[in-house]
A and B are shown apart, each in its own frame.
Chain A
Amino acid sequence: MKKRIMLYMLLTAEAVIMIYPLIWLVGASFKSNDEIFTSLWFMPAHFDLSVYRKAWQTVTPYSMGHYFINTFKVILPKTLFTLVSSVLVAYGFARFDFPMKKGVFALFMGTMFMPGIVRVMPMYVMWSRTGFLDTYVPLTLPSLFAVEGAFVFMLLQFFRRVPKEFDEAARIDGCGTIGTLVYVLIPCLRPVLVSITVFTFLWTMNDFLEPLMMISSVEKYPLSLALRLSADSTGNGYEQNRIIAMSVIGLIPSVAVFAAAQRKLIGGITAGGLTG
């Protein structure tokens, strides 16, 4: 019994370290500069929601809503492209035999361990030569080609769990290659498809380096760049709570999506080996 209480205390202490900064951030958005830098406690002296109205307007010519819409213009096609391409590629690897399969698979595993930053410079040159800079094409189009190896890998683990007899039964009932995938396999893969969607969402919300390089006009900025712009243009004497409130607003979609999906998510990663 004593051991159990110790365990709970340990867990709670650790949980506080993990979560308190976030709670403090929310509280700090209501505080004055003085209060932010003198009080440890997250609770502000008084609540004044007007800071959120100001934060929503941002210090840029556009509102937060505009940047959210920009971000979703990237997220939606990216998620769709990623789902379709990853499922097709994983299906090919999991269920079919073809010439050079071993070689192609080795190549696939190799790219998973490739540091992304090596690629970004030449990619920038490539997109600038083809005239796609400052559009969302560089941020979305690559997803059509299953570039996120971790997702394919995760799908492979799930494909392995679905008995091949399912495919055979579907074939006997007259399903073709794609029919088997759509009517039999995809329903079995639902949990992992949810995980892929959620991770694509979260990672795209977090994306910073790529938009920073590819997108140059403020009008097209996704949320992360808008936050950086605001953080850079608010100096020390400024009301700090406004940029803090912007950060809080910027975190809400990610936290909401994670909260909604967390039960399925942790189940989905169980088989995967996916990292954030």
Chain B
Amino acid sequence: MKKRTYHNPVGVSRYTGLLLVSPFIAGFLVFTLYPFITSFLLGLTDYDGIHQPEYIGLGNYRYMLEDDGIHSAVSATLVYMLILVPLKLIVSLLAAVVLNNRIKGIGVYRTLFYIPSILGSNLAIVIMWQFLFTSGGLVNQLISAAGLPDVSWYGSGIHSMMMIVLLRLWEFGSAMILFLNALRDIPCEYYEAARVDGCGGVRCFFRITLPLLRNVIFLNLVLQTISAMQEFNAPYMITGGGPMRSTYTIGMLIYNEMFRYHDAGYANAVSWLLFAIVTVTVLIIYRVTRRSREEYI
């Protein structure tokens, strides 16, 4: 066996570092690995949260194949993700590009743009959203002021979905901050050189800005996808999953199976399904973007 040398300050044992990171290791075992394994095992049982779990093998997973509830939840979650994530990336990137101008008072705008995402999933914001979109709410007043027919936001599936997408889109600040920091690292000389060569603003954006941002675009894409797939608060509070389960996400299904229908076995099996979907999606993103990404993640 090859003997490894440890580069530590003089007099420091090679176990000092291990001791320092031991809270993470302990936490990983207790709060990540243990729940993860338990979740898998419970997923193989019929369990109501009170009585002894009863082993039923892949019964829960077999049930998923015929359960319409899970089919509509998976498709609602995927639709939600496919609408929200691209929109959010585009909006936050454009906002970051505009905010990257060094003009007077830009700091104020940056703060204002960031506030909604700071308040984030605060329940007060969710309640506010309900009021904004009720039949006589601010949004419908604006729509009728523009001379358009009223929209029943709670009445149709697509509109309910849009209502939640708009809420999360409004909170684009955190993605924007990541873009803004990456933009700041691009040297001004690149743009100056491009301008000398007669490159316009739009072409500069596509030829210089976008390629240099590909890593942070990838990071944001992954982070936003993961968080979109777990959406729970907004549909739970605003639409209750309706109408006709159009906004009934996987997160809501897990919660309801566990606490409403007391089917902990199924809830845990669906948790694993969600984990699998997230992992596969992230791997797909990873593979698809590999060519256009600098290899660092």
Contact assessment for B125 and A122 in the assembled complex, using a CB-CB cutoff below 8 Å: no
Q: What are 10 A-B interface contacts by the 8 Å CB criterion?
A: A18-B116, A38-B141, A93-B21, A104-B25, A121-B267, A122-B268, A202-B118, A254-B118, A273-B181, A275-B174
Instruction: Say which one of B67-75, B103-111, B155-163 lies at the interface with A.
Output: B103-111
Q: Which residues of A contact B207 (CB under 8 A)?
A: none
Q: A18-B170, A19-B112, A92-B18 are in contact. Are A142 and B31 (CB under 8 A)?
A: yes
Q: Which residues of B contact A37 (CB under 8 A)?
A: 134, 136-137, 141
Interface residue A53 (Cβ < 8 Å from any Cβ of B): no
Assembled-state Cα–Cα distance A28/B134 (Å): 14
Selected contact of A118 from candidates B109, B137, B271, CB within 8 Å = B271
Interface string of B1-17 (1 = CB under 8 A from A): 00010111111101111
Interface residue A243 (Cβ < 8 Å from any Cβ of B): yes
Q: Which residues of B contact A108 (CB under 8 A)?
A: 24, 28
B interface with A by C-beta (< 8 Å): 4, 6-12, 14-21, 23-28, 30-32, 34-36, 38-39, 42, 49, 95, 98-99, 101, 103, 106, 109-125, 127-128, 130-132, 134, 136-138, 141-142, 145, 170-171, 173-175, 177-178, 181, 184, 219, 222-223, 226-227, 229-230, 232-233, 237, 251, 254-255, 258-259, 264, 267-268, 271-272, 274-275, 278, 282
Q: Which residues of B contact A117 (CB under 8 A)?
A: 230, 232, 251, 254, 271, 274
Selected contact of B264 from candidates A107, A125, A152, CB within 8 Å = A125
Nearest-Cβ distance from residue A117 to partner chain B, whole angstroms: 4
Assembled-state Cα–Cα distance A275/B228 (Å): 13
Selected contact of B10 from candidates A88, A121, A171, CB within 8 Å = A171
Contact assessment for A97 and B14 in the assembled complex, using a CB-CB cutoff below 8 Å: yes
Q: Which residue of B lies closest to A93 (CB)?
A: B21
Consensus secondary structure, chain B interface = helix
Q: Which residues of A contact B35 (CB under 8 A)?
A: 119, 121-123, 126
Interface residue A74 (Cβ < 8 Å from any Cβ of B): no
Q: Which residue of B lies closest to A224 (CB)?
A: B123
Nearest-Cβ distance from residue A16 to partner chain B, whole angstroms: 9
- Give the 5 A-B residue pairs with the shortest CB-CB distance, closest first: A145-B27, A96-B17, A92-B20, A37-B136, A122-B35
Instruction: Say which one of A7-15, A43-51, A186-194 lies at the interface with B.
Output: A7-15
Contact assessment for B124 and A96 in the assembled complex, using a CB-CB cutoff below 8 Å: no
Q: Which residue of A lies closest to B270 (CB)?
A: A121
Q: Which residue of A lies closest to B201 (CB)?
A: A3
Nearest-Cβ distance from residue B48 to partner chain A, whole angstroms: 12
Selected contact of A269 from candidates B177, B232, B278, CB within 8 Å = B177
- By the criterion of a CB under 8 Å from any partner CB, how many residues of chain A are at the interface? 93
Selected contact of A19 from candidates B42, B115, B122, CB within 8 Å = B115
Nearest-Cβ distance from residue B116 to partner chain A, whole angstroms: 6
Within 8 A of B (CB), among A106-147: 107-108, 111, 113-119, 121-126, 128, 142, 144-147
Selected contact of A250 from candidates B124, B223, B232, B237, CB within 8 Å = B124
Q: Which residues of A contact B181 (CB under 8 A)?
A: 269-271, 273
Contact assessment for B128 and A97 in the assembled complex, using a CB-CB cutoff below 8 Å: no
Contact assessment for B115 and A113 in the assembled complex, using a CB-CB cutoff below 8 Å: no
Q: Which residue of A lies closest to B237 (CB)?
A: A228
Please give 14 more A-B residue pairs, beta carbons under 8 A apart, in addition to A92-B16, A171-B10. Answer: A11-B106, A96-B16, A98-B6, A98-B17, A99-B18, A115-B230, A117-B230, A119-B39, A121-B267, A125-B49, A145-B24, A254-B118, A276-B118, A276-B171
Consensus secondary structure, chain A interface = helix
Interface residue A177 (Cβ < 8 Å from any Cβ of B): yes
Q: Which residues of A contact B251 (CB under 8 A)?
A: 117
Contact assessment for B31 and A119 in the assembled complex, using a CB-CB cutoff below 8 Å: yes
Contact assessment for B112 and A144 in the assembled complex, using a CB-CB cutoff below 8 Å: no
Assembled-state Cα–Cα distance A145/B27 (Å): 5
Within 8 A of B (CB), among A21-76: 21-22, 24-25, 28, 36-40
Q: Which residues of B contact A255 (CB under 8 A)?
A: 115, 119
Nearest-Cβ distance from residue B26 to partner chain A, whole angstroms: 6
Contact assessment for B131 and A36 in the assembled complex, using a CB-CB cutoff below 8 Å: yes
Contact assessment for A227 and B39 in the assembled complex, using a CB-CB cutoff below 8 Å: no
Nearest-Cβ distance from residue A254 to partner chain B, whole angstroms: 6
Q: A38-B141, A92-B18, A248-B124 are in contact. Are A115 and B275 (CB under 8 A)?
A: yes
